[in-house]
Amino acid sequence: MTDAFHATDEFAARFDSLLAWRRDVRRFKRDPLEPGLLEELIDRACLAPSVGNAQPWRFVSVETSEHRKAVAASFEAENAEAAKLYEDEQARLYSKLKLAGLKEAPVHLAVFSETETCLGNGLGRQTMPETLVYSTVCAIHTLWLAARTRGVGVGWVSILDPKVITRTLKVPDNWQLIGYLCLGYPIENHDDPELVRHGWQDRIDRSKVFFRR
């Protein structure tokens, strides 16, 4: 048994800094991660909470040029379609946004959730089966924070066709794509989100998201 954890004021302040510094990174150096670091980050991700201890997360390191080209092609196609949704000033802003670091990032990580896992014996998800997916999202966020403590940036690429990615990577039919992540050492670090910095969307304050009943 380990000793009970006691957070100090200093730890809390540094954790707050980590949350502010996490950021969705899209500008990467091409330097590879240190040997064993990716595996270390996966181990940390697996410390995330999961419904019924089902641990539904599945991580696929996308390494071949063939697979990466297929992912990049999906991004280009979906990004072109998404751009059509915007007009005038939003269209101009959209065209200037860098929405992925697929070409530069040394590590591509596809994260899936196994939707029919027997692990956990169904505990806690009879009325809300989507909690399996939520559990995988928790693992992604845990990996994200762990990566940043080690100077590694993470970018979540969502402008993709999940069917293309699933077919390309030849994963089981009951694996649902949750996130496609780019990992690498960032060229620059910012406390403010890129979308705020480029005028796309400001942060909203607590009064807009916190309610009492």
The residue that leads in pLDDT, 1 or 172, is 172
Cα(136)–Cα(81) distance, integer angstroms: 28
Q: C-alpha distances in angstroms, 81 versus 26, 108, 178?
A: 20, 23, 21
The answer for residues whose C-beta is within 8 angstroms of residue 14's C-beta and 6 or more apart is: none
Q: Residues of 8-29 as b/e, b for ≥16 C-beta within 10 angstroms?
A: eeeeeeeeeeeeeebbbbbebe
pTM above 0.85, yes or no: yes
Q: Which pLDDT tens digit goes with each residue over 7-61? A: 899 999 999 989 988 888 999 999 999 999 999 999 999 999 999 999 999 999 9
What pLDDT does 148 receive? Answer: 95
Give percent of the chain with pLDDT exceeding 70.
99
- Between residues 183 and 198, which one has the greater pLDDT? 183
**Res. 192 pLDDT band, cuts 50 70 90:** confident
Sorted by where each begins, the domain ranges of the chain are 23-204
pLDDT bucket at 5, cuts 50 / 70 / 90: confident
The structure tokens listed for 89 are 């000033």
Q: What is the mean pLDDT of the chain?
A: 93
**Domain 23-204: which topology?**
NADH Oxidase (3.40.109)
Residue 2 has pLDDT above 80, yes or no: no
pLDDT tens for each residue of 69-109: 999 999 999 999 999 999 999 999 989 888 899 999 999 99
